[in-house]
Amino acid sequence: MGYKTINEANEAVIQKIIAAAPFLTDVVPAKSVIPELEEYVLLHAGPPIKYENMTDPMQGSCVGAILFEGWAEDEKNARELLENNQIKFIPCHHVNAVGPMGGITSPNMPVLVVINKESGNEAYCQMNEGIGAVLRFGAYNEQVINRLHWMKDVLGPVLSKALKTLDGGLNVNVLIAKAIAMGDEFHQRNIAASLAFLKELSPIISSLDDVEKDQRTEVIQFLADTDQFFLNIAMATGKAMMDAARTIEHGTVVTAMCRNGENFGIRIAGMGDEWFTGPVNTPQGLYFTGYSAEDANTDIGDSAITETIGVGGMAMIAAPAVTRFVGSGGFNDALETSNQMTEICISENPNFVIPTWDFKGACLGIDARKVVETGITPVINTGIAHKIAGYGQIGAGTVHPPIECFEKAITAYAEKLGFKG
């Protein structure tokens, strides 16, 4: 297989991840970098899924994207397009992209462009819309559509101009290293990273003479208000890092984790593009006032790419402030969680050092073999969506993948290597 042992192959994958050099270089219309995004084509989060099997929030996101694109004039016509199979769906992961929650991405939505300069590959993710009624949670009212148009017409172009003033773009590893030392874990808590991003770009945005003052002010205010803005940058970064690692094409390191409301899917290095799936779980956590577990949607989104690179729930110890928000207790519980995650990981990332963990690097390289051997599955921090489109986020918590994903992956890889059961 090119490597004497599986461990040797896994180590090559680990070194590829550590060597990654992700830079945020631009914000562009999705169709300009994803040629598959033609008219009447939408991207979605998770492994492949049919429209009729999507949960209500994901279907609502589809309606909103169609209204944003102008493919239909109202909800009724949009749903007719969807129910008559006139919309083609592609998983974000199949076109170098990732998407939060429903992950629904349409041709004219602006996407962040992250280039991994070590390998030369790019990855894309739409921008964070903020909180409340937003497309990623299934909302599609007039306010949501108007915000999407503002992001297309103002936010995207302004950030593009600002990023292009930087020689080579913005070094994401540097921002992550700063923010993980300031209490972020990059899934549920991105406050420090979002502020660090604003610190880098606000002086540049303020000096853009070819942008109207009102627009500069709007963009800076939006970035200041959006605590989770960096999450989408982290997602594109994780995708760029792991897609480069997938070029090793050997080993049992998990290279993607995602969910579509129906199935949880993983990929491992040695099995390339193949998905290994199992029924998705519903997050366990804390709910906003007036909501309970009965209101919760099953887990959705590509944001678990953050856990794949060892942050998010895997780095719970880095973010003591978020532990109670996701219902995991206090500092000692966070410490126990991160310590447990080392049992299913191969190494640690020296680029992402965690002061609250005695300056250890974040967990790195989920080994599907170790998951199967120990029965310990990765912990994922996540937002909890209402099961009815439009309500938005109703809480936050943690979720685990079904172990059968890992069992299927290991069985398939063993067969590939010629081992007989």
pLDDT of residue 391: 83
Q: Which residues contact 380 (CB under 8 A, 6 or more apart)?
A: 187, 257, 299, 304, 307, 312, 313, 398, 399, 400, 401
Portion of the chain with pLDDT greater than 70, in percent: 98
pLDDT at 209 over 90: yes
Alpha carbon 59 to its chain centroid, in Å, reads: 19
pLDDT in tens, 30-74: 999 999 999 999 999 999 999 999 999 999 999 999 999 999 999
Q: Is 210 exposed, middle or buried (0-12, 13-18, 19+ CB in 10 A)?
A: exposed
Positive or negative, the CA dihedral 260, 104, 150, 68 is negative
Mean pLDDT of 333-344: 91
Confidence of residue 308 (pLDDT cuts 50, 70, 90): very high
Mean pLDDT of 356-376: 96
pLDDT in tens, 227-253: 999 999 999 999 999 999 999 999 999
pTM of the predicted protein model: 0.95
**CATH architecture for residues 243-417:** Alpha-Beta Complex (3.90)
CATH 3.90.1710.10 fits 6-232, yes or no: yes
Mean pLDDT of 95-114: 97
Where exactly are the structural domains of the chain? 6-232, 243-417
pLDDT at 334 over 90: no
pLDDT at 414 over 70: yes
